[in-house]
Amino acid sequence: MAERGRPRAFDREKALKAALRLFWEHGYEGTSIAELKAAMGINGPSLYAAFGSKEELCRGSSALYEREYGAALLAILNDTTDARAAVETLLAAIADMRCEDGPRGCLVSTGETACGPANSAVARHVADRRGVLRNALTDRLTRAAAEGDIPAGIDIPALAAFYTAMIQGLSIQARDGADAALLAAIIKRAMEAWPGD
Amino acid sequence: MAERGRPRAFDREKALKAALRLFWEHGYEGTSIAELKAAMGINGPSLYAAFGSKEELCRGSSALYEREYGAALLAILNDTTDARAAVETLLAAIADMRCEDGPRGCLVSTGETACGPANSAVARHVADRRGVLRNALTDRLTRAAAEGDIPAGIDIPALAAFYTAMIQGLSIQARDGADAALLAAIIKRAMEAWPGD
DNA sequence: TCTATTGTGTACCGATTGATACATAAATGG
DNA sequence: CCATTTATGTATCAATCGGTACACAATAGA
């Protein structure tokens, strides 16, 4: 059974991608519906019919971001055999993140750290995603400790928070335009803090 | 010769402080003139007569921030004899930053990383301030290398960028509500990356 | 007191914000 | 064909945005 009614004239995924790009570059409050409509190539009613509201559109973009960018980060973290290499490769991937030819750095790590009272729900959502990334790091490092990749007696949550902070700092500096060599040097230095080296 | 005309009925510095608090907590785009007027306890014409525009008010708040908060950070950095202690104390001060009972973390380090096209000048201004902090770190570490506090052959700009990234990560996590003990543990870990340890 | 100067309070400006009403177009199922 | 369902395009909504016109109040110098 196919879909009833007039078919949608635009590609939902492509439109979502255009929205993601705008939110990534300008933030939630810095992106207007007018700009979204233009970039997505659709008009108001189509946007609201397909996505509900600006906030729901943002959550949809966030979900797309997780699929298209976040998942790869978690895969690096979890699938790299050596824990140290996993973290180092993760940091390198963060430094290399970019939305097409647009904004650099991790959207979640720097996103909506401050916003107006009316949009606090969006800020909380992004902050929660930062928590997810930190939890993933914590889990991976806990596993590393169990596997002997990290010496006993190391404060794992603190170590995870440290590398989370690195991700956030790298993302800000990437967004500010730091060149790849500098980011690589930062990562090299960050790995000097790896326990037991 | 005293001032002519009707005297101002509000304390300019106090009003600026109230504005700073709002910008710190909600960011430039997340703060409306209506909220500023309410918090500053003045009406539109008084605000515009005294401060010019929202953007100029923000720059004024930024200048106040530098005097009230930034200067102390630079003092720690430059006046602490031992370079390692200077950096460690600086990081601790960042972790401890707070606007009264309001937002935590360094305003500049996390501020306006994304904003709408209309406000890009403000974003550039804040990004420039991040550059100032990084330059101050670079200068201090260059001095440390010259004084022998840091071994020869260390990439000083990279080391400065690393600790700048730490400041940014600490600021984000402080803003997100991380407790002081965790931030202290992050700093302890960050100092493990100090060259030559 | 008179004039000049500056700040305050009200009331309002055009523009933009996020979001819709309504008529019409395009598809499916019968 | 018709009825139903869904999408599009135009035109617009009330609310809020940053910013001001204007009348009046309060000071200083003459």
Would you state the pLDDT for residue B4?
Answer: 87
Distance CA A71, CA B43 (A): 49
In tens, the pLDDT along B89-120 reads: 999 999 999 999 999 999 999 999 999 999 99
Q: Which residue has the tokens 């800000």?
A: A172
Which residues in chain A (44-73) have CB-CB distances under 8 A to chain B? none
**Closest nucleotide to B33, Cα to C1':** D18
Distance CA B191, CA B185 (A): 10
Helices (H), A27-82: 33-40, 44-51, 54-65, 71-79
Cβ pair A10, A41 in contact under 8 A = yes
**pTM for this one?**
0.95
pLDDT band of B46, cuts 50, 70, 90: very high
Q: Taking residues A57-71, what's their average pLDDT? A: 98
Distance CA B162, CA A182 (A): 9
Q: Please determine, for residue A1, whether its predicted confidence score (pLDDT) is greater than 60.
A: no
Type of residue at B34: A
**A118-122, A193-197, B25-29, B153-157: the lowest-pLDDT one:** A193-197
Cβ pair B133, A196 in contact under 8 A = no
Would you state the pLDDT for residue B2?
Answer: 63
C1' of nucleotide D7: residue with nearest CA: A6
Q: Which CA distances in Å does B112 have to A46, A140, B103, B122, B126?
A: 31, 32, 15, 8, 7
Q: Which CA distances in Å does B39 have to A116, A161, B18, B184?
A: 14, 35, 6, 33
Q: Taking residues B23-36, what's their average pLDDT? A: 98
Distance CA A146, CA B85 (A): 34
Q: Residue A4 CB closer than 7 angstroms to strand D?
A: yes
In chain A, the percentage of residues whose pLDDT exceeds 90 is 96
Cβ pair B131, A182 in contact under 8 A = no
Question: Which chain A residue lies closest to B32 (C-alpha atoms)?
Answer: A116
Q: Please determine, for residue A75, whether its predicted confidence score (pLDDT) is greater than 60.
A: yes
3-state secondary structure B111-143: CCCCCCHHHHHHHHHHHHHHHHHHHHHHHHHHH
Q: For strand D, give the nucleotides within 7 A of a protein CB.
A: 4-12, 16-22, 25-29
Contact A114 B117 (CB under 8 A): no
Q: CA quadruple A4, A5, A9, A10: dihedral positive or negative?
A: negative
Would you state the pLDDT for residue A2?
Answer: 64
Q: Which residues of A touch B127 (CB under 8 A)?
A: 176
Which residues in chain A (119-138) have CB-CB distances under 8 A to chain B? 119, 127, 130-131
ipTM attached to this prediction: 0.94
| Helices A120-147 + A83-95 axis angle, to 10 | 150
Would you state the pLDDT for residue A70?
Answer: 98
Q: Please determine, for residue B19, whether its predicted confidence score (pLDDT) is greater than 70.
A: yes
**Closest nucleotide to A42, Cα to C1':** D8
Report the DSSP beta bridge partners of residue B98. Answer: B104
Residue B1 vs residue B86, higher pLDDT: B86
* DSSP 8-state symbol, A37: H
Q: Taking residues A125-132, what's their average pLDDT? A: 98
Q: Please determine, for residue A57, whether its predicted confidence score (pLDDT) is greater than 70.
A: yes
The CA distance from B2 to the nearest CA of chain A, in Å, is 41
Question: Which chain B residue lies closest to A118 (C-alpha atoms)?
Answer: B30
In tens, the pLDDT along A31-54 reads: 999 999 999 999 999 999 999 999
